[in-house]
Chain A
Amino acid sequence: MLDAELLARIQFAFTVSFHIIFPSFTIGLASFLFVLEALWLRTRDETYLSLYKFWMKIFALAFGMGVVSGIVMSYQFGTNWGPFSEFTGGVIGPLLAYEVLSAFFLEAGFLGIMLFGLNRVGPKLHFTATTMVAIGTLFSAFWILSANSWMQTPDGYVIENGRAVVSSWIDAIFNPSFPYRLVHMVLAAYLTTALVVGAVGAWHLMRDRENRAARIMFSMAMWMAAILGPIQIFAGDLHGLNTLEHQPAKVAAMEGHFDTREGAPLILFGMPDMEEEETKYAVEIPKLGSMILTHEWDGKITGLKDFAPEDRPNAAIVFWTFRIMVGLGVLIALLGIASVIARLRKKLYSCGYLHRFALLMGPSGFVAILAGWFTTEVGRQPWVVYGLMRTSEAGSPVAPTAIAGSLIAFVVVYAIVFGVGTAYILRAMIKDPRSAHIPEETEILRAGGRQSTAAHPPVAGE
């Protein structure tokens, strides 16, 4: 029988998995829109304006879904995780309050002008609005990752009357894993968006290789993959070292190591078995595990058996989600390298294999983010706040039936809403980006940037 704790965990995992997809896409997309509008203002090349409008519509859909799924998250702490809220309220509450004050309002306040205001405020102020929305998404990432990192590597607190009280805000906000997590996540968001933009560009290139808007998209996206892909692997490695220092049990589970040894192998594949305490059918490369994690051939790696059974995260899940993330990361970097080679050979817009590869990789960023998210969150178990509060102590005294009922409602509603939303987004993506912009509008903008001042009939085209 499913108990309240497990149901609440499933519900949280389900809702957060849906939610995380949208902000990670909109963080990258907001910056992309910022770049597109800046390019348009600099060059007055209308292809950039077409691209801006094309992606703005997709942004609006994704942002709307991010907002509504995020509101759910902000209330779930109280409904399902009351004791957690009481214990962490003094620490995580203010971090989230800062997120609302510095990020959510900024995004929401300027989103209206960004979506509807181009003809009302003129290009310069409109660009300011786009900038504010992009900054807002990054502020949001800053605070939410600070809060999440504090749950992973709590610092700057003391426990008073059974509650966490902050002793140093600097230490609490910039807790040991925060810088790594922030960089890794923001890079992931940028890469995810680049992969989607690249796939959409590839799709349109496959239909018309001369499509200038598609060429710009594809080229920009492939630069991002080529530059950020390798940087992300490096950042991920640093993050891994940080995790080894602060959460060795998580790393042991990720690596599938049950026994502590020196000169540990790298287990490529296998089946971690929590009951029998061994990774079955392991395919190993000798000593490489120690080399990667400790940067020494005979470095010592702690295995799961060094932790009490009740303190071990589930290796079977973490081992595989970690491999999915890393595998996709390598493929993404490969795509970037392939695009550089094609570019050097002047075949970026004509290489069908590359376009198909880019199209195939379109959703890979989302999968990698989800896999990485599961690795870090499941790897933190059995703690909700690492070393301080167990997940089993964090749940509200709510009847399992109530949680089960709301879980079913979530699954049904999310399936409908996000299923339809994704369909609309895909439909918007396959429209020709060149048709997103009507040239007459530019005339209105040139005539002073306001609709009301365009008294004379606009001249179509150039």
Chain B
Amino acid sequence: MDYQLIWVLLIAVAVFAYVTLDGFDLGIGILFPFIKNPKNRGRMMNTVAPVWDGNETWLILGGGGLYAAFPQAYSLLMTAFYIPVFTMLLALVFRGVAFEFRFKSKNHQKHWDFAFSAGSIIAAAMQGAMLGGFIEGIAVENGRFVGGAFDWLSPFSVFCATAVVVGYALLGTGWLIMKMEGDFQGNLRRLAKPAVIWMAANLGVVSLMTTYVNPAYAQRWFELPNMLYLAPIPLVTVGLLYWLWHAVKKREKTVFGITLGIFFLSYLGFGITLYPNIVPPMITFRDAAAPENSLAFMLVGAAILLPIILGYTAYAYWVFRGKTGDEGYH
């Protein structure tokens, strides 16, 4: 293992941590339109109020890590995704302050509920659109972005956007089934069913479309012997979807767990498709890497601090384990 490989894996882990952690708390905002009762909405927010800040920090680590370890990739991707990045950031601004503001004002609670929900949906959709645009590739010549401001927008990226929104909604539902009780939990279970079907359909279509985007992607998956080695990924995913469909009706904790598993396999598949490119279709992570000594210097910090971070993050989740009531500090 060399520094460049370690860092591309670390950033991949940070992005995955972001996707799953902020995924479920964005999911709560995505579910808001389906839950009308203000009290239940308050409960939903209370389940993530103590942890959302930490969840979102992984987004800064993903972006900051990319800047530090692969500056050329950071610069190119941010330029190519100028519009979706800013739209996502502004959506996250609204959504982030809504956590505090919602409880501060009874008169404007509806407005902040709307800001929270719209912010969550738009942020998730922009992340999905960027995922699509990323898979389709970035126009680069001589190390400079030469595409247009709307290159990221295509039927494929729109489809990816809906896939991410639905996926996050399902993660959020799984989380809430764990944290809620009684009638409200029953409502959530009913909401989860169509989401499972929708996600299964999305996964199938996005996976197949991906192999049409670029012949190299199709080659990676469908050429022998790769096909045999990689076959477990889609097969296990199908198995998990089947299990999820049955768990939704009766299980409390497995729904969230299985959804995480499906996210992990999808992410793994995405990584396998693109490796070793960090700015598809041409630039590899090795081309875009920062100087060796920068990578080494950061690795010292990451090796010491990441285990500590994981430790106290786990502790924070443990402190707030169990069912969430109406408690807050507001």
A residues in contact (CB < 8 Å) with B: 53, 56-57, 60-61, 64-65, 67-72, 74-75, 77-79, 82-83, 85-86, 88-94, 96-102, 104-113, 115-121, 132, 160, 163, 165-166, 169, 396-399, 402, 406, 409-410, 413-414, 417, 420-421, 424, 427-428
Contact = CB atoms under 8 A, between A and B. Distances in A.
Contacts, number: 238
Given A105-B313, A166-B293, A69 B50 contact: no
A121 B99 contact: no
Contacts of B298: 93-94, 97-98
B121 interface: no
B254 interface: no
A116 B297 CA distance: 36
Given A112-B49, A120-B319, A397-B145, A78 B57 contact: no
B57 to A, nearest CB: 5
Chain B, interface residues (CB within 8 Å), range: 35 or more
B122 interface: no
A132 to B, nearest CB: 8
Given A97-B64, A109-B316, A409-B90, A67 B71 contact: no
A339 B316 CA distance: 42
B64 A160 contact: no
Interface string B67-89: 11111101111110011011001
Interface in B78-134: 78-79, 82-83, 85-86, 89-90, 92-94, 96-97, 99-101, 104-105, 108
A60 B328 CA distance: 12
29 contacts: A57-B330, A64-B99, A64-B100, A67-B96, A68-B93, A69-B93, A77-B78, A78-B74, A78-B79, A85-B78, A89-B74, A93-B64, A97-B65, A97-B68, A101-B309, A105-B313, A108-B56, A109-B309, A110-B312, A112-B319, A116-B320, A116-B329, A118-B329, A120-B320, A166-B297, A169-B297, A398-B82, A420-B108, A424-B105
A104 B54 CA distance: 8
Nearest to B321: A120
A104 B71 contact: no
Interface stretch (B161-169, B185-193, B225-233, B299-307): B299-307
A101 B302 contact: yes
A96 B294 CA distance: 12
A165 B291 contact: yes
Given A74-B64, A116-B327, A424-B105, 16 more contacts: A53-B329, A71-B60, A75-B63, A78-B78, A86-B75, A89-B75, A93-B68, A96-B64, A97-B302, A100-B60, A100-B65, A105-B313, A112-B320, A119-B327, A165-B293, A406-B86
